Structure 1
Amino acid sequence: MASQYNDSHRLFVQGMLTKRIITEPEAKQLYDQVLEATSLPNNVEYELFISETNKELVELDYALRICHNEREGDPYLTLVNVKQDPMTEDATSFKPAEISYCRELFGAIINADNEEFAISATKALNLGAKITPVKFTQRESQELLNKLVQDKWIAFERKGVYYIDTRALAELQHFFREQYGEAAKECTFCLDIITMGEACTVARCPVRVHKYCADKHFRNTPEPVCPQCATRWSRDKIFGLGLPDNSYSDDESMSD
């Protein structure tokens, strides 16, 4: 049953403006809390409620978007600015020098060798020296890195590397594609930016897929093949240092 945009939708958007990114179970919990707070009947399903909210948000160049954590495939709900780089909005909490550092950081991760899509902690700290006109000390760089991790723009793997996290992949898809071109890979199945997962064994084949997408699409396929070149799909051809060590068996190695 459809409903008109009302106080429940507005309150939900206010909550998302504060949180920006939450797990889907948390989003459904927020939805229940909003309905209870506004004393409105629960006669609209969650999915329809989100759709109705998006119809209003389009006028403000915002959207509620479902994205997935690349490591586990868990769904998140994010509030994204669909018209401009969210990190350069007037209301951003980042200073100009911090934005410059973030651009250096994302560029280093996207353009990492061998499709590692990660940067070592040492290199991340040293990026501060490239910022002009005011260079960052390593302490200032570490403080900013901690902030980026806390806000889910990047994450830290115990291998000692930083990689792009769920929020950045949701909010900066357009920026990554526009800024880095072919270096920003795309999952063949879901078409989202991909920084870790499985690759076709044929060197020249561009197919890259998220592990959770491969789990879904190859679940009932005894002998999976590449969706583009039809080569047998070997699930041990992986890339991206952001993947946890236990994502694949011990005898499976990183991409060559």
Structure 2
Amino acid sequence: MATSGFTNTHRLFLQAAISKRLMTEATALDLYSQDNFSDFVGQLNEGLNSVELEFRRAQDEVSGAFVMALFDAIVMADDEAFCISSTAALHEAGKLKNKENKPLALSKKDAESLLDRFVKDQWLIRSAAGAYSLSMRSLLELQTYLKETYDDQIQECTLCMEIVTKGQRCVVAACSCRLHNHCAGTYFGNMNKPVCPTCSSAWTGRTLIGLSDRTAAPSTVRRRRRRREDGGAEVGEDGGQDENGGDEEEDA
């Protein structure tokens, strides 16, 4: 990282920004608490340029709401698919609302442009079959947000304890074991009869998390149900209880 003009003030501000991931302009100004904030950010980005990072300011409520809606649909995808189709992604764009719960106008063309931008900026990955999933950048930079927001819905690899959205899972539905493909390959490499590291059931490697790059995602948004914090019955996103304990399906 370039050090010319890069002071301890820049370093402290950068540490705070990294810990928060995202912050409002008011929070950023409180952290800096001096004049010439634009010049300060310019110096900060000069120092970050050598490691291909940038401190950005954004005012686009629509794109922010859209990417959060996409993240929610991907993380909550039924049967741990951790991806959604382009049709389902565009359907999410049509449901966007602002903080006042009023609809946000986003045309299909604008939604498609934003999807292209999210892929270009490496927040999302688009598979050969047109399915959108979380990128490595999202999993690394938004790890704290994802774990805090989705808690028991997000999955961690039993071996390396990092988030896993593509990999293998135990054939026993009640078992919590999830593995990255590379972790599974290393762990089971010398076993003639692989068994689950958690429950010791036979491990086939054919029960998957996520979809293969050439498998199309469902055209409808189908979410897993969230559980109440008190451990009660499962509830849907609208707070309504599902009499059968099943999944909620929304037409795309």
Q: Secondary structure at the residue paired with 2:2?
A: helix
CA distance in 1, matches of 2:150, 2:23: 17
CA distance in 1, matches of 2:184, 2:162: 14
Q: Which residue of 77, 84, 92 maps to 1:112? A: 77
**Shift of the alpha carbon at 1:206?**
1.0
Give the fraction of aligned pairs with identical amino acids, expressed as a percent: 32
Structure 1 residues without counterparts, runs of 5 or longer:
1-8, 15-55, 63-80, 247-256
**Shift of the alpha carbon at 1:197?**
0.6
Q: Which amino acid aligns with 2:145?
A: F
Higher helix share: 1
| Correspondence 1:10 to 2:8 | no
State the match for 1:99 in structure 2: 64
Q: Which residue of 244, 250, 255 maps to 2:213? A: 244
Q: Secondary structure at the residue paired with 1:83?
A: helix
Structure 2 residues without counterparts, runs of 5 or longer:
29-55, 216-252
Cα separation, partners in 2 of 1:135 and 1:85, compared to 1, 3 Å: farther
Q: Which amino acid aligns with 2:213?
A: P
| Correspondence 1:130 to 2:95 | yes
Once the two structures are superposed, residues 174-209 of structure 1 have per-residue CA deviations (whole angstroms, 9 ceiling, x without a partner) of: 111111121111111111111111000111001111
**Shift of the alpha carbon at 1:87?**
8.0
Alignment of 1:210-225 (within 5 A): 210-225=180-195
CA distance in 1, matches of 2:12, 2:170: 37
TM-score (norm 1): 0.62
Cα separation, partners in 2 of 1:130 and 1:85, compared to 1, 3 Å: farther
Alignment of 1:52-91 (within 5 A): 60-61=14-15, 82-86=18-22, 91=56
Once the two structures are superposed, residues 204-226 of structure 1 have per-residue CA deviations (whole angstroms, 9 ceiling, x without a partner) of: 00111110111122222222211
**Shift of the alpha carbon at 1:157?**
1.2
C-alpha root-mean-square deviation of aligned residues, in Å? 2.5
The alignment of Structure 1 onto Structure 2 pairs a total of residues equal to: 176
Q: Secondary structure at the residue paired with 2:138?
A: helix
- 8 A contact 1:86–1:171 mirrored in 2: no
State the match for 2:170 in structure 1: 200
Cα separation, partners in 2 of 1:10 and 1:153, compared to 1, 3 Å: same
TM-score (norm 2): 0.63
- 8 A contact 2:127–2:214 mirrored in 1: no
State the match for 1:182 in structure 2: 152
